[in-house]
Structures are given as structure tokens and as C-alpha cells.
Amino acid sequence: MPIHPSGITALAIDFMARWVSVSAADAAFNTDRRCTAALRDDGVIGLPFQQALADGANQRHFGGMQTTATEITIRRAGERGQADHGWLQSHHTFSFADYHDPAHMGFRALRVINDDWIAPGQGFGTHPHRDMEIFSYVLSGTIEHRDSLGNGRQLKPGQIQLMSAGRGVTHSEFNPSATEPLRLLQVWIRPRERGLTPSYTEWHPRPEHARLAKVLVISPDGRDGSATIHQDAEVYRLRLGPGGTVTHDLRPGRGVWVQVAEGALNFQGVPLATGDGASTESPGTLRLAGSPSAEALLFDLG
């Protein structure tokens, strides 16, 4: 596998999101020209793939998942797809790359949840995306992001970067540390429409968020300082201490997905542990409790 002069393994993504090697020159961070070429010459992320995502993500119920009497559908951590690339250990909640299961194609507009561990000095070389809302939630370590919009950032645990790929963008993500592994949740959500203007934004916790069990981090209107997404989707960060509880009101016609990043919690009385996910489309007041403590993301999707 070619290595970029900085030491980062050079990778790109083909139209099915499989990892393929590219030349060291092609992994350079001057990305504007290659974004146009990739999308023009071979349709790397073209319409057929996006339509497949849309068709699969419209599935509301998943065969093979455990469903409780209270209409909570459970996706256990051990049932997820797995990929071991040496420098990258990834667990796929939904179909991704070489892991394909028609029963697990997404939930409403939520298409990808990858739990990624990235080795020191390694990462994803410059690659293209199109027509997808993509965010990374850092759990430990540091992530460095560079893109064809001119953004270059490093983010720490608890921070979020959100990129709207729109009509086409290239970016890279890597672990700049020489010693510390990086862990993050990478999430893809389908946008409300294709061909949007690409954009980039971040969410950083404020001091008062440290004592809050539930914080809005992503929303379509950017309220309360949240990052803005081009979809009818709200994402909340949950941090529950021992005995801590939080509620969420789910309106009719919407669905909730809860993804446990670390620890354990009870969701409507159903125990969930690190890596577990669960969903419901039953409206009403939902209750989550630390068991004993947990960090999680809650997605409220139209």
C-alpha cells in the first residue's frame, strides 16, 4: 500500500465505498482538481450508488434484529459487520464496503454508523464524496480533517465535524498523533435533496454542557448552537451518570435510533451496552437511564 510522505496510508473510496490503493501523488492534500476529475471521469459517487442508498435506507424494519414487546428493535454490537485493515479496525452498524446485508441498509435517512479505531499516524487519504451529510464524533484521540473547501482542522474528544458533500467534495481524515490511537463514530445521513452546495461546520461543547445529560449537537435549523444538517434530522449527545435519566418525546411519524458509544444504559427498560444500537417508531415519551453510566448519540429522524 503506498504511503504518503507524511506517513499516512494513501486510500480512496470507489463507488461501493470499498478501500482501494492510490498513488502517493494522488494522496496529496491539494484536492480541488481531483474532486472535479473523480466525479467527471468515472462517477465515483454517482447517481446509481446514491439511488441504491436511498432505496435501502427507506427500509423501516430489519430482519434478523431482535424486537421487543415494546417495539424496540435492537442491533447488538456483536452482530455488526467488521473490517480489519491493520491500521483501521471498524465495526459497521449498517452495510458498508465489503460488508453487505440487505436486512441492515439503514434506518430512515440514517445510512452509516461506523465505529472506527485508527492507529497512530494513519488515516483515510484524500477521497471524494457526493450527496451525503457526513459527520465524525471524536471519542478519544485527535482527528485531523482537510478538504477541497480549504478547511483544515484538528478535533478532540466530544467535538463534531459535519461536512455536507453536496454536488462534490474531497477530504482526508487521519490521526496526527505518533503514539495515541484515535476512536470515532463516523455517520452518514442522506440529505433532503441532491446537488447542494458543499459546506463544512463543527460543534464544540460549551462549559455548561458538561453537566447536561442531553445536548442537541446537530439540527436542520442550527438552533441552540448546533451544527446544521440538510435533512429533517436532530442528533443529541447523551451522557448519563450512575442513576442518571433523560427523556425524549418522539412525535408521530418519526423514528429514533440510539447508538451507545461507551458504557451501558437502559432504553425503555431494554439494556444496551457499548456498540449496541436500538430503534423505535412508536410515538411517546422515551426514557433512557445510565446503567451505571453511558455516552450515546440519539437520532430523531423524520
Share of the chain above pLDDT 90, in %: 76
Question: What does the alpha-carbon distance between residue 37 and residue 20 come to, in Å, rounded to a whole number?
Answer: 17
Mean pLDDT (whole number) for 195-211:
95
Residue 66 has what pLDDT?
57
CB 107 within 8 A of CB 273: no
Kindly report which listed range (14-18, 131-135, 231-235) carries the lowest average pLDDT score. 14-18
Kindly report which listed range (25-39, 128-142, 240-254) carries the lowest average pLDDT score. 25-39
pLDDT in tens, 77-97: 999 999 999 999 999 999 999
The pTM of the full predicted model, rounded to 2 decimals, is 0.81
Specify the higher pLDDT residue, 20 or 132: 132
Mean pLDDT (whole number) for 238-262:
97
Mean pLDDT (whole number) for 133-151:
97
Average pLDDT score, the chain: 83
Q: Which helix (H) or strand (E) holds 293?
A: strand 284-301
Q: Which domains does the chain have, with CATH numbers?
A: 11-301 (2.60.120.10)
Residue 243 has what pLDDT?
87
